[in-house]
Amino acid sequence: AIKYTRMIVRKSSDNSHFIMAVENIDDEVRKEREHLRALNTEKELARRDELTGTKNKTAYLELEQSVQSNLDNGMDYLPFAIAVCDVNDLKKINDNEGHKAGDDYIKEAARILCNIFDHSPVFRIGDDEFVIFLRGDDYTAREDLMSQLRETVMANAISEKGPVIASGMSEFVPGKDTTVSAVFERADNMMYENKNEIKKDYPH
C-alpha cells in the first residue's frame, strides 16, 4: 500500500549538518480526500433533482451560463438544440389520486425522456417541466428522437396509460441567435403549440 509521508530538512544551528524529519501523513491525506469526495458529492447532489434523479434547475442555469459565455466570447460553439417538455395533467392527478401518484407520473415521464435522449443531459426545471440539451449524436438524430417521443406520447394518450408529455425543440442558429435563452423561448413556444394540439386531439 502507498504510504504518504512529509519530509522536513533543516540545517543545524552550527551549519555543519542537516536535520531530517520524516512524518507519516497518511491520515491527513485520507481526511483531505474524504473531504473532497464529500464536497463533490454535495455539489453533485445540489445539482440533482431528488425525485427523478435527473439534473435540476441549478444545473441547467449553470450550463446555460457556460454556453452563453462561450457565445459571448465569440467561440465557435458546437451545434446544439434545446427541447422543452411539459407533463400534462399533473395537477389533475395530484388532485384526484394524490401526490404519490403525481410523483410516480413525473418519475415515469423522466424515465421516458432519459431513455429516448440517452446521450443528452435531462433537467427537471419545474414541477412538470423538463429541458433537454441535445448535442453530439442526439443532435444529429434530433428529428428522429422527437418523433419517437411524440409516438410514445400518442400511444400513452390513446391508451390513457403512461404520461402525456408536450414537447417542442429548437436548434441554435449561428449568426442569428446570440443567446441561449432565444433558443429556449422558441422551443418553449413550440411546446405550447404541441400542448394545444394534444388537448384538441385527445380531450379527456
Residue 180 — very low, low, confident or very high, per pLDDT cuts 50/70/90?
very high
Which helix (H) or strand (E) segment holds residue 43: the answer is: helix 26-46
Question: How much is the average pLDDT of 169-193?
Answer: 95
| Grid cell locating 22 | 520524516
d(CA 23, CA 7): 6
3-18 burial code (b ≥16 CB/10 A, e <16): eeeeeeeeeeeeeeee
* Residue pLDDT, tens place only, 116-159: 999 999 999 998 999 999 999 999 999 999 999 999 999 999 99
